[in-house]
Amino acid sequence: MDTHPETPAAAEAAALLRVIGRGARGSRDLDPTQAAWLMRAMLRGDLTDLQLGAALMALRIKGESADEVLGFMQAVDAQLPRLRVARPVVVMASVNGARRLANQVPLLCLALQRRGIATLVIGDEDADGRLHTAALWSALGLALARAVDVAQTLLDAGAPVYLDLRELHPALARLTAHRRVLGVRNVGHSLVKLLCPISGPALLLAGYTHGEFGALMQQVLAARGTSALVLHGCEGEAVPHPSRRTELTWSLPPAGGDAPTALPAAVGGDLPLLGTDLAAQRDWSRDVLAGRAATPGALDAFVTVVAAAVTAMAPAPDPDRAA
């Protein structure tokens, strides 16, 4: 490994590392232009391995600012393909999976499909001992989109779409994959939850685990002009937790739509502890879909909230076209 790089990119990276790499108290935030440059360099592979690891760990220790995330997203967007839609679509990332409770992501998508609403799930899987959404998605007989054009076809048909991050944004997927080397998540995992690769009306569902990140997400999404619903999700996914009050924060809510600020917890909770047992997760999901088991109360309420917001986003009928 070249620990003394002399390329212009490596020299610029070293200067930025001096800004963000002085610990939790001594570090300073990058401005959006600097952040965009650093993210472009990381996505292109312009940094040495040592610099890339140092940058990812420095950002994790310092914590990202809203200006930094806005700059990072500017670089990410430059490589992000867009799917075209005429009617509103719901977008969410699934990067956490299930550890103890049932994975509700497929149920949410299927419930919205029954209301005529298309969904796009952006998945980022990891061998971390959790049951990730892709495995349950396939077990329920849903198709995994193997390419962006396949995702477009499924979306056009109104089917729930699961698209792996490696197909949507390979460079960002390579960044998140460094978790296997560093042992912890990095800024790339946060950016995935802000992706909305839609050309047309869309509502982004953004789930967070730690409260401070929820406020950061809302600030960034508002600045980017993204219509989004941010929530303290169940095990980090963008679905409500069954046994606690779920706070809902809206970024640019649809005009005229109902925008509640919380979902009450179900009495006693009604989401089973299925862990990472794929067969148990599949069977329970099938029972809910078939009406043999009750839909979790918080999820049912969430579907109603999301559907109302999407309906409010839909364009009004064209009277001339109808005539």
Round the average pLDDT of the chain to a whole number and report it.
90
CATH of domain 8-77: 1.20.970.10
Low-confidence ranges of the chain (pLDDT < 50): 1, 322-323
Whether domain 83-313 has CATH 3.40.605.10: the reply is no
What confidence score (pLDDT) does residue 1 get?
Answer: 45
What confidence score (pLDDT) does residue 322 get?
Answer: 47
What confidence score (pLDDT) does residue 272 get?
Answer: 80
What confidence score (pLDDT) does residue 139 get?
Answer: 96
Q: Could you tell me the residue ranges of all domains in the chain?
A: 8-77, 83-313
Per-residue 3-state assignment (H helix, E strand, C coil) for the chain: CCCCCCCHHHHHHHHHHHHHCCHHHHCCCCCHHHHHHHHHHHHHCCCCHHHHHHHHHHHHHHCCCHHHHHHHHHHHHCCCCCEECCCCEEEEEECCCECCECCCHHHHHHHHHHCCCEEEEEECCCCCCCECHHHHHHHCCCCEECCHHHHHHHHHCCCCEEEEHHHHCHHHHHHHCCHHHHCCCCHHHHHHCCCCCEECCEEEEEEECCHHHHHHHHHHHHHHCCCEEEEECHHHCCCCCCCCCEEEEEECCCCCCCCCCEECCCCCCCCCECCCCHHHHHHHHHHHHHCCCCCCHHHHHHHHHHHHHHHHHCCCCCHHHHC
Give residue-wise pLDDT tens across range 280-306.
Answer: 999 999 999 999 998 988 999 999 999
